[in-house]
Chain A
Amino acid sequence: MITNGKKYEGPGGNPYIPMLATVTKLYSETPNIKSLHVVLDDKEQMKHVSFEPGQVAQLSLFGSGESTFVINSSPLAKEHLQFTIMKTGEVSGAFHDLSEGAKIGLRGPLGNWFPYQHMEGKNIVLIAGGLGLAPLRPFMFYLLANRHKYKNIQLIYGARSPGDLCYSQDWTIWREHDSKVKITLTIDRDVPGWEYKVGFVPTIVKEEAPSAENTIAVTCGPPIMIKFVLQELEKLGFAPEQIYTTLERRMKCGLGLCGRCNIGPKYVCIDGPVFSLAELKALPNEL
């Protein structure tokens, strides 16, 4: 587990109580995915807001409930926090119905993050499917801002169709960054006008065959994609210590107390969401 020992204290020292915040911008990424910009109402707190790439927060829509989302804006930008929400259940649906100016609550940052210090001097391969790019987005911003500390960077990103790819405004910029940043896009089935790869993400991983030599792979996406990506990476010679993923589980408290997000003795909310494959292999098989 990687922690900086910092815990969410909460107003009055009560970690169940959110900080009040305002939705300043809301826009569609895909037909069922929206991103929102959130600014804490306490200007002092917003000025000092700090989080690590991969950390999550609990967003409250009072009257609907609270859910966990990864903070996907750049950890270096302080003007707002960005979250991306797929319309799936009651709370996420209610968030989709908000308009700019809506009042919400935020508890966070919570959980651990990508151990970027341990990855310095290495090649980085990011592999994402669909909204799985959300936790890798702040990590990519971090890597590009600290470009000299890392070698080659490749992002393999896939979705069902071109319209299901999130954050197009970002990866169009990332691929122009420098010659050693490579963005590989793929969709499941070909459509007219598509000029990039076609095929499931694990297949493209196999095709691209990133070298395991001095490389760290980080993957996030639907569980079935992660499963096959891990198999391909192991075939390419990646050791479990070279592979990281970030997990989702049903969560309520985010504090390691309500009980539901455990995998064996580890709680995804406080010991995760980021785990190396080596860590996961040491846990009971209950993904």
Chain B
Amino acid sequence: MPKAIMQDKLNDWLDSIASKYQLWAPQDKDGACLLSPYTPGAPVNLKCRPQLSAKKALFPQTECLLKYQYHKDKSKPEETELSISAANPNQKTVIWGIAPCDVSGISFFENVFIGAGYQDTYFKTRRSNTLIAAIACQHAESTCFCEAVGGSPVSAPDADLLLTRIDHEYVVEALTNEGATLIDEGLFTTVEEAKLNAMQQVKEAALSKLSKPFELGSLPSVADKFLKAFESPYWKEATAACLSCGICTFVCPTCYCFNITDEAQGMHGQRLRCWDACMFSTYTLEASGHNPRNIKFQRYRNRLSHKFSYLITNNNVLGCTGCGRCIKECPVGIDLRSIISHILAE
């Protein structure tokens, strides 16, 4: 049975979680709502949808893959030994208070990073040590379209807990046994039928708020339409204003492209993985000078075709959760929804 917790008890609950786990929670910081590491007692904000997606909790913007060390024996200077050690990010973690679209983003990463192909050891280690407490989203913005891409603002089947706000109280449903262990009995009350009905009503109201800008159709048909539109002159027109700034990839819960570089400090150093962006012209620039995606429309076309065609072909998954962040943050007002609608109609 679900339990309920009063808003003024949330910090007690979070303090208790934070004593056992690394905890991420949405908080107001520097004038923005961000999913950040929680420090005991800090106010959390469950009425916002953080500006950046939750991917950074499991796929950090910069992370160490390995450390290396050269060893020089001064008595035999011509021989240098080398040792390397892999990073092991196995800290127990809870990601708390994220919207269902961001939970979908994490499920998407599972499909790509620990699905059928090569396993991403670092993501896998983090994910297997992480619990997710989602919150039913009641603050749909004008840019939200999760339902149009198969999501729902009020259900998160891949989370461990689902919170629903009713006035000054949160009803908490445990979706997994591990999630249930996070519910600290002393802080929670039992939930009566009237409250369950109220929860249902809150969820239904949230659903009715969403716009549905397009009818997607079956995933294979979407993949096919984007592939057929590859040579369409529309891509140039749609991206004429694009600055190649890459903010769409930065805020996107499913953009996962990365770069790998070495950072040396004398005889030792580390290999780092950092977020990269397919919208940058240097992303595919080869040492010879050749660049297969030299022009911005080619890069944007690849980004969308990846999300709406190639990922369907390879992983049977759509690379969009409908969070709308790319629309909200784009400095020149490129609206993904209208581009999707256009390609689907072409």
Contact = CB atoms under 8 A, between A and B. Distances in A.
A270 B118 CA distance: 10
A151 B122 CA distance: 49
A101 to B, nearest CB: 7
Contact of A13 (B121, B258, B310): B121
A25 to B, nearest CB: 16
Contact of A265 (B84, B259, B285, B313): B313
Interface string A74-105: 00000000000000110010000000011101
Given A255-B117, A259-B278, A265-B314, A62 B262 contact: yes
Given A16-B86, A103-B80, A286-B298, A264 B227 contact: yes
A16 B65 contact: yes
Contacts of B260: 16, 65-66, 252-253, 258
Given A223-B290, A262-B310, A265-B313, A250 B285 contact: yes
Contacts of A20: 82, 84
A256 B118 contact: yes
Contacts of A256: 117-118
B178 interface: no
Nearest to A259: B257
| Chain B CB within 10 A, most for which of A17, A101, A102, A287 | A17
A89 B120 CA distance: 27
- Give chain A's interface secondary structure class: loop
Nearest to B258: A258
Interface in A1-33: 7, 11-18, 20
A88 B68 contact: no
B341 interface: no
A264 B264 CA distance: 35
Nearest to B120: A257
Contact of A15 (B118, B306, B314): B118
B290 A7 contact: no
A71 to B, nearest CB: 19
B87 to A, nearest CB: 9
| Chain B CB within 10 A, most for which of A13, A64, A88, A264 | A264
Contacts of B117: 255-257, 270
Interface in B239-276: 256-262, 264, 269, 271, 276
A265 B223 CA distance: 10
B264 to A, nearest CB: 4
Contacts of A18: 84
A284 interface: yes
A192 interface: no
B84 A12 contact: no
Contact of B262 (A11, A65, A260, A287): A65
B45 interface: no
Interface in B290-346: 290, 292-293, 298, 302, 305-306, 309-310, 313-314
A89 B287 CA distance: 6
A265 B309 contact: yes
Interface string A221-252: 01100000000000000000000000011101
Contact of A62 (B271, B288, B293): B271
A167 B218 CA distance: 53
A17 B306 CA distance: 27
Interface string A261-287: 011110000100000000000001111
B121 A15 contact: yes
A193 interface: no
A53 to B, nearest CB: 22
A17 B256 CA distance: 20
B73 interface: no
Nearest to A19: B84
B68 A15 contact: no
Nearest to B119: A15
Contact of B293 (A11, A105, A286): A286
B262 A257 contact: no
B237 interface: no
Given A62-B82, A62-B271, A265-B313, A284 B262 contact: no
Nearest to A287: B292
A92 B287 contact: yes
Nearest to B83: A20
Given A101-B78, A103-B81, A265-B310, A286 B258 contact: no
| Chain A CB within 10 A, most for which of B65, B66, B306 | B66
Interface of A: 7, 11-18, 20, 60, 62-66, 88-89, 92, 101-103, 105, 222-223, 248-250, 252-253, 255-260, 262-265, 270, 284-287
The 5 closest A-B pairs by CB, nearest first: A63-B264, A259-B257, A103-B82, A255-B118, A265-B310
18 contacts: A15-B119, A15-B121, A16-B271, A17-B65, A62-B68, A62-B82, A62-B84, A64-B262, A101-B78, A103-B82, A252-B259, A253-B118, A256-B117, A257-B113, A257-B118, A257-B258, A285-B230, A287-B292
Given A252-B258, A264-B227, 11 more contacts: A16-B260, A20-B82, A64-B262, A66-B260, A66-B271, A101-B78, A253-B118, A257-B112, A257-B120, A264-B309, A285-B230
